[in-house]
Amino acid sequence: MKLSCWMDDGIVGMMLLLSAATMAGCQQVVSIDLNKANPHIVIEGNVTDQQGPYVVKISKTGNYFEPTLSFPAVTGAAVVVTDDAGQADTLRETEAGTYESTTLRGIAGRTYALTVVAEGETYQASSSMPAKVFIDTLYSVYRPSGRGGSGYDIYITFRDPPEPGNYYRLNATSSRPIPSDSIDGERYRLYTDKLTNGNEMQERIRAGDNVLVGDTITVDLLAIDQASYDYFNTLRDILQSDQAATSLAPANPNSNISNGSLGYFAAYTVDTRKIVIR
Amino acid sequence: MKGLVIMFHSESSSIRGAILARAPASAARLLLKSMRLRSLLLLPLFAVSCPRDSTAQPSHIISGTVRDAETGEVLIGAAVIARDLGSVGIATNAYGFYSLTVPDGSHVIAIQSVGYRTQTDTLLLDKDITLNINLTPQPIRESDVVVTKERSNTNVTSTEMSANRLEVHEIQEIPVLLGEKDILKTIQLLPGIEGAGEGSTGFYARGGGIDQNLILLDEATVYNSSHLLGFLSVFNSDAIKDVKVMTGGIPAEYGGRLSSVLDIRTNDGNMKQFDGSGGIGLLDSRLTFGGPIVRDEGSFNVSARRTYADLFLKLSRDTALNRASLYFYDLNAKANYTLDDRDRVYASGYFGRDNFGYPDLFGFNWGNATATLRWNHLFSDNLFSNTSLIFSNYSYGNDVSSGTSEFTITSGIRDESFKTDFEYFAGPKNNLKFGLNVIYHTFLPGTVTATSGTAFNGISIPNRYGGEYAAYIAHETEVASGVMLNYGLRYSVFQLYGPGDVKTYDADGNVLTTASYGPGEIIKTYSGLEPRVSANFTLDDASALKASYSRTSQYLHLLSNSVTSNPSDLWVPSSNNVKPQYADQVAAGYFRNFGDDEYESSLELYYKNMQNVIDYKNGADLQLNPDVEALLSYGRGWSYGAEFLLRKRSGPLSGWVGYTLSRTDEQFADINNGNPFPARQDRTHDISIVSIWQYDPVWTFSATWVYNTGNAVTFPSGNYLLENVRLVPYYTERNGYRMPAYHRLDLSATWTLGPHSNLNFSVYNAYNRLNAYSIYFRRDPDDPNKTQAVQTTFFPIIPSVTYNFTF
């Protein structure tokens, strides 16, 4: 769990209270002239303990204000994933910039290595898949009032293993399309056992009115390694840039890929549970 | 003989201190010897000689204390001048004391201080005499009709540079946010000092960081100077007597921070009668009360204030909001007593606390407590000493509720210190200062106390302990006609003590080794010599050239998750992993007064080099991290600039115009590909115009206009897609962009209702400039494919009114 996030929440909260107290504070859209950086390679690779194929995507950066969700694909790359038990799989390019495994099987406890040769440069990364951690319970509670108004709270419990150094990511999605890709708008729900080692963990997601009776909520508990946690944690820092007022100078996330590539390569286990809101 | 000679000879690579003086001087010798100052060999000669020893003409000492005639408050920085001897004179010290040695005979002694009628005494000197002076306050409007030398030119004649003293009336007339007066906001209007951002009491001095400022309240270090997250400072201006800020040529008596010293002295209290003052504002109310303990022998002063925004919150119907807390309070208390002609004791204290909370979400509280016990002792008419015992504590608490978990985080720092300072007034234009300072620091990096039934384990990062020791000597003398030299040396030592585990780390922050130390065991020692030199080349009565060099060391560092000062910021000691910071600064300036010293002007140029400035590795989690030392990276910073100041202190219209042109860069091996980048505190242009106009006895107006180049910030230069949906900004260079320029006009009018009350009307940001507090980027709510930049403004135009009274 990242304490500084709560601190930030608190500080933003204080700012809001202060603004309210001074009857002030406003926001406006402004025009900012940003440089156009040279396109830079982005590699995104995942290996899980679920059935493959596992996907590695290779693309390039674009201009910041350009209205698009499609970015230049890097094609014709040589992409190989190996593990420390002797598996090796050369990934096939199934569409431009998307490379899929054929034989690889992700197994908890093993370490996976990625090698990409693209446009004359070689990029390497490795990631260890931790032991699997299972969701113990998943339930919802209707809250008639309180902060954020009425609505459903989703509770997830799981037990942290006795040895320290566990890292987690939780994803919660709904069967019904909602504006955000998470049921409460929280994009990266990350946890460490720094302060909670070996304990029963209980996490609450305040879904509010994003969740209605009849919706199916899917929760994935990912056990990730430290480097992946570090990556997603620093990624979250810059994506929550609406807190930039108090945060330090932003920087690209701490990637585990060599040779200056953006993106990450992560091996992790996934435990999925579903609940239907009644 | 009343002489004191300290000389150092090089002899078999050791120092022989030859001190021919009385008891205090032998204490000085012990002090110097114990320092093992071999490196003092670098100094050619440290010599103070009394002219009476060498000249045939006998001379004697005039000494005493300068006070306000109405209140008995001692006056700091008042000039005592033998007018018949040209510019021979001295300024009173922080306790109002002066000592002037002049040849026997008849002299005209003038005593002057801004805001007071100058007093002139003619006296025949044939023995040492005590001359205590009471100066009568002068109504501001009177000064324009008095054309004699009412004004002082000490700004031109002293060796002091890069220093500014603020008059209390200036602080009182310059409104900051919500009609409040605030010294930390007011000093940001001086050249060389820049505010760290809108609504921040943090400041940057000549390109230095927020933590490089030594802030002293009656000699006690104040570790966090902000209330309400920096919207106001912890200093209640009603309690303040004198404010002096130094950004260069820092005298040897100060140390421990790289970039500036802010020396704040509080009122002693009325020695003649009971009096008080107060104010009722939109944000807070204030009350000050003081008076004699024994008339003309002792007095006390108490100031208190409290905000009441939370009282309005209680009126809210929202059951969460009406339980929210949002307030601060502070209390300054001081007492002094004159034991006899030669001894005076003081006790002073400060206690302040902020409280911020929202039910079931968070609660913050933080505050400083300081206490100072002081003893002034006069060993002789020309040897003054002050000895202080000082306590300072900063603590921070944070209650967190998250999910079903609740816990409390606490952290802080505590100082206990001893300090003794001597001033030896050896002769006209010949003064010696020396002293020593011992501080014992206790660092409390953080403890988590979990309430029962939560998933959280309690955690405590072990305390750390450090000793900071310093001894200094500084000599000011006229080395040639019209050339004053102030040269000094400070020797500082920092030691980190056990108990504690000491770790070493590899480049990735993994622990390599761990060693355990017992209580009191020395873990690491740093020491260094800090030469301080400043010189004045007087060109004529109204102009001078000045130059200075200073080296400063800093053994304590502030780790902050944010760019402004936060209550959670953590002070950490230098250690085997954390290196001390060092700065070397050279400055040169031209000082010129106009119109019979009515206008003061100065142009200063400086260059400062800072070693081991601290930044953080990306994603560094500084809170409750036992391995926080592995998250730091060290680099170099350098700053240079030109500062112009034109100032008018007296008359119905007073104020100043300040302009700073500067540049500050930093370089770190692991940031920005090792390339230099502009520091966040880099401001190309910084302009302040401050004017206070006493229109008539009823109305006083003031206006302040500020302009500065926007902060250097990091914006993305591209973006990319992750997980099919997330647009991620791509950063190419650190601080490669600028925030929009900041400018603002504040207006204020004070309506004097009678001898005991006034109403102050003020308007903050009068032309409603929407200054950017921050700029962030988000997806366009109307078109998810687009990204837009959003600017947050905290303070548009804000009018306010305050009622002030005295009794």
> Length of chain B, please?
807
Other beta carbons less than 10 A from residue B404's beta carbon: 12
Distance of CA B797 to the CA centre of its chain: 29
Per-residue pLDDT at B288 exceeds 90: yes
Determine whether the interchain pair B457/A262 forms a contact, defined as Cβ–Cβ distance below 8 Å: no
- For residues B712 and B704, what is the distance between their CA atoms, to the nearest angstrom? 24
Contacts of A224 in chain B (CB under 8 A): none
Q: Which residue has the higher pLDDT, B554 or B711?
A: B554
Per-residue pLDDT at B198 exceeds 60: yes
State residue B7's pLDDT score. Answer: 34
Contacts of B719 in chain A (CB under 8 A): 61-64
| Tens digit of each residue's pLDDT (9 = 90 or more) over B426-445 | 888 899 999 999 999 999 98
Query: Which residues make beta-bridge pairs with B661?
Result: B642, B685
Per-residue pLDDT at B169 exceeds 80: no
Contacts of B777 in chain A (CB under 8 A): 64, 241
* Conformation bin of residue B533: beta by default, left when phi > 0, alpha when psi is -120 to 50: beta
State residue B166's pLDDT score. Answer: 84
Q: How confident is the model at residue B37 (pLDDT cuts 50, 70, 90)?
A: very low
Q: Does A177 touch chain B (CB under 8 A)?
A: no
Is residue B488 within 8 A of residue B612, CB to CB? The reply is no
Determine whether the interchain pair B714/A249 forms a contact, defined as Cβ–Cβ distance below 8 Å: yes
Per-residue pLDDT at B30 exceeds 80: no
Average pLDDT over residues A187-215: 84
Q: Which residue of A has its CA nearest to B794?
A: A25
Mutate to test the interface with B, among A248, A257, A262 (most CBs of B within 10 A): A248
Contacts of B795 in chain A (CB under 8 A): 22, 24-25
For residue B300, give every residue at least 6 positions away whose Cβ sits within 8 Å of its Cβ, in sequence order, or none.
B269, B290, B291, B293, B333, B334, B335, B336
State residue A14's pLDDT score. Answer: 53
Per-residue pLDDT at B18 exceeds 80: no
Determine whether the interchain pair A61/B787 forms a contact, defined as Cβ–Cβ distance below 8 Å: no
Per-residue pLDDT at A248 exceeds 60: yes
State residue A278's pLDDT score. Answer: 82
How close B712 gets to chain A, by Cα (Å)?
10
Q: How confident is the model at residue B379 (pLDDT cuts 50, 70, 90)?
A: very high
Mutate to test the interface with B, among A156, A195, A229 (most CBs of B within 10 A): A195
Contacts of B773 in chain A (CB under 8 A): 245
Q: Does A254 touch chain B (CB under 8 A)?
A: yes
Q: Does A201 touch chain B (CB under 8 A)?
A: yes
Determine whether the interchain pair B734/A247 forms a contact, defined as Cβ–Cβ distance below 8 Å: no
Determine whether the interchain pair A3/B409 forms a contact, defined as Cβ–Cβ distance below 8 Å: yes
How close B312 gets to chain A, by Cα (Å)?
9
CB contacts < 8 A (A, B): 250
Per-residue pLDDT at A7 exceeds 60: no
| Structure-block tokens of residue B313 | 């919150």
Q: For B622-749, where are the alpha helices, taking DSSP H only?
A: none
The answer to which of A179-183, B177-181, B547-551, B665-669 has the lowest mean pLDDT is A179-183
- In single-letter form, the type of residue at position A241 comes to S
Alpha carbon distances (Å) from A196 to A166, A170, B324, B447, B778: 10, 16, 29, 14, 33
Q: Which residue of A has its CA nearest to B712?
A: A249
What is the 8-class DSSP label of residue A62?
A: B
DSSP structure string for B142-188: GGGT--SS-S--HHHHSS--SEEEE-HHHHHHSB-GGG-B-HHHHHT
Is residue B493 within 8 A of residue B436, CB to CB? The reply is no
Determine whether the interchain pair A64/B729 forms a contact, defined as Cβ–Cβ distance below 8 Å: yes
Q: For chain A, where are the alpha helices, taking DSSP H only?
A: 3-21, 226-239
SS3 A11: helix
Nearest by CB: A251 against B398, B618, B723: B618
DSSP structure string for B319-360: TTGGG-EEEEEEEEEEEEEEEETTEEEEEEEEEEEEEEEETT
The alpha carbon dihedral of B583, B588, B593, B597 has a sign of positive
Q: What is the mean pLDDT of chain B?
A: 85
Per-residue pLDDT at B40 exceeds 50: no
State residue B1's pLDDT score. Answer: 34
Residue whose pair of structure tokens reads 């005592």 in the numeric block: B80
Contacts of A156 in chain B (CB under 8 A): none
**In this predicted complex, what is the ipTM?**
0.89
Q: Which residue has the higher pLDDT, B216 or B595?
A: B216
The answer to which of B227-241, B246-260, B343-357 has the lowest mean pLDDT is B227-241
| Structure-block tokens of residue A187 | 């994009």
State residue B181's pLDDT score. Answer: 84
For residue A222, give every residue at least 6 positions away whose Cβ sits within 8 Å of its Cβ, in sequence order, or none.
A168, A169, A170, A171, A268, A269, A270
Q: Which residue has the higher pLDDT, A242 or B233?
A: B233
Per-residue pLDDT at A191 exceeds 50: yes
Query: Which residues make beta-bridge pairs with B467?
Result: B440, B495
How close B101 gets to chain A, by Cα (Å)?
55
Q: Which residue has the higher pLDDT, B178 or B472?
A: B472
State residue A26's pLDDT score. Answer: 78
State residue B553's pLDDT score. Answer: 97
Q: Does B624 touch chain A (CB under 8 A)?
A: yes
Per-residue pLDDT at B42 exceeds 70: no
- For residues B82 and B417, what is the distance between their CA atoms, to the nearest angstrom? 38
Chain A (61-90) residues lying within 8 Å, Cβ to Cβ, of chain B: 61-65, 67-71
Phi, psi values for residue B190, rounded to 5°: -90, 150
- Which of B10-14, B56-60, B158-162 is the most confident on average? B158-162
- For residues B105 and B642, what is the distance between their CA atoms, to the nearest angstrom? 46
Contacts of A61 in chain B (CB under 8 A): 718-720, 730
Chain B (205-244) residues lying within 8 Å, Cβ to Cβ, of chain A: 228-229, 231
| Structure-block tokens of residue B648 | 């008018």
Other beta carbons less than 10 A from residue B373's beta carbon: 14
Contacts of B564 in chain A (CB under 8 A): 246
The answer to which of A221-230, B119-128, B251-260 has the lowest mean pLDDT is B119-128
Phi, psi values for residue B572, rounded to 5°: -125, 150
Nearest by CB: A4 against B229, B621, B770: B621
Per-residue pLDDT at A114 exceeds 80: yes
For residue B12, give every residue at least 6 positions away whose Cβ sits within 8 Å of its Cβ, in sequence order, or none.
none
Is residue B481 within 8 A of residue B440, CB to CB? The reply is no
State residue B27's pLDDT score. Answer: 38
Is residue B709 within 8 A of residue B686, CB to CB? The reply is yes
Per-residue pLDDT at B374 exceeds 60: yes
Contacts of B457 in chain A (CB under 8 A): 195-197, 199
Contacts of B407 in chain A (CB under 8 A): 195
Chain A (91-150) residues lying within 8 Å, Cβ to Cβ, of chain B: 146-147
- For residues B398 and B755, what is the distance between their CA atoms, to the nearest angstrom? 46
Contacts of B716 in chain A (CB under 8 A): 34, 64
Strands of B381-463 (E only): list them: 383-402, 405-427, 430-450, 459-461
State residue B479's pLDDT score. Answer: 92
Contacts of B210 in chain A (CB under 8 A): none
Is residue B750 within 8 A of residue B735, CB to CB? The reply is no
Average pLDDT over residues B160-168: 85
State residue A35's pLDDT score. Answer: 85
Cα distance between the two ends of chain B: 51
Residue whose pair of structure tokens reads 């005593």 in the numeric block: B111
Q: How confident is the model at residue B45 (pLDDT cuts 50, 70, 90)?
A: very low
Per-residue pLDDT at A59 exceeds 60: yes
- For residues A85 and B31, what is the distance between their CA atoms, to the nearest angstrom? 69
Average pLDDT over residues A38-51: 95
Is residue B491 within 8 A of residue B457, CB to CB? The reply is no
Determine whether the interchain pair B623/A4 forms a contact, defined as Cβ–Cβ distance below 8 Å: yes
Per-residue pLDDT at B347 exceeds 80: yes
State residue B723's pLDDT score. Answer: 87
Nearest by CB: A242 against B312, B715, B778: B778
Determine whether the interchain pair A250/B731 forms a contact, defined as Cβ–Cβ distance below 8 Å: yes
Per-residue pLDDT at B474 exceeds 60: yes
Strands of B428-520 (E only): list them: 430-450, 459-461, 464-480, 483-497, 500-505, 511-517
Chain B (647-706) residues lying within 8 Å, Cβ to Cβ, of chain A: 671, 680
State residue A145's pLDDT score. Answer: 67
State residue B159's pLDDT score. Answer: 86
Contacts of A172 in chain B (CB under 8 A): none
How close B656 gets to chain A, by Cα (Å)?
29
Per-residue pLDDT at B31 exceeds 60: no
Q: Does B452 touch chain A (CB under 8 A)?
A: no
* Conformation bin of residue A25: beta by default, left when phi > 0, alpha when psi is -120 to 50: left
Query: Which residues make beta-bridge pairs with B110?
Result: B81, B120
Chain B (417-436) residues lying within 8 Å, Cβ to Cβ, of chain A: none
How close A64 gets to chain B, by Cα (Å)?
4
Other beta carbons less than 10 A from residue A137's beta carbon: 12
Q: Does A42 touch chain B (CB under 8 A)?
A: yes
Kindly state the percentage of chain B with pLDDT values over 90.
Answer: 54
State residue A87's pLDDT score. Answer: 92
Determine whether the interchain pair B732/A35 forms a contact, defined as Cβ–Cβ distance below 8 Å: yes
Is residue B335 within 8 A of residue B293, CB to CB? The reply is yes
Average pLDDT over residues B693-716: 92
| Tens digit of each residue's pLDDT (9 = 90 or more) over A76-94 | 999 999 999 999 999 999 9
Nearest by CB: B616 against A30, A248, A253: A248
Alpha carbon distances (Å) from B88 to B63, B85, B108, B332: 14, 6, 11, 38
Per-residue pLDDT at B391 exceeds 60: yes
Mutate to test the interface with A, among B400, B721, B782 (most CBs of A within 10 A): B721
Kindly state the percentage of chain B with pLDDT values over 70.
Answer: 88
Is residue B249 within 8 A of residue B534, CB to CB? The reply is yes
Alpha carbon distances (Å) from B739 to B204, B730, B774, B787: 17, 18, 8, 18
Contacts of A205 in chain B (CB under 8 A): none
Q: What is the mean pLDDT of chain A?
A: 85
Q: Does B311 touch chain A (CB under 8 A)?
A: no
Determine whether the interchain pair A23/B798 forms a contact, defined as Cβ–Cβ distance below 8 Å: yes
Contacts of B561 in chain A (CB under 8 A): 4, 7-8, 246-248
Alpha carbon distances (Å) from B475 to B221, B484, B488: 25, 10, 6
| Structure-block tokens of residue B236 | 């209640």
Is residue B106 within 8 A of residue B122, CB to CB? The reply is yes
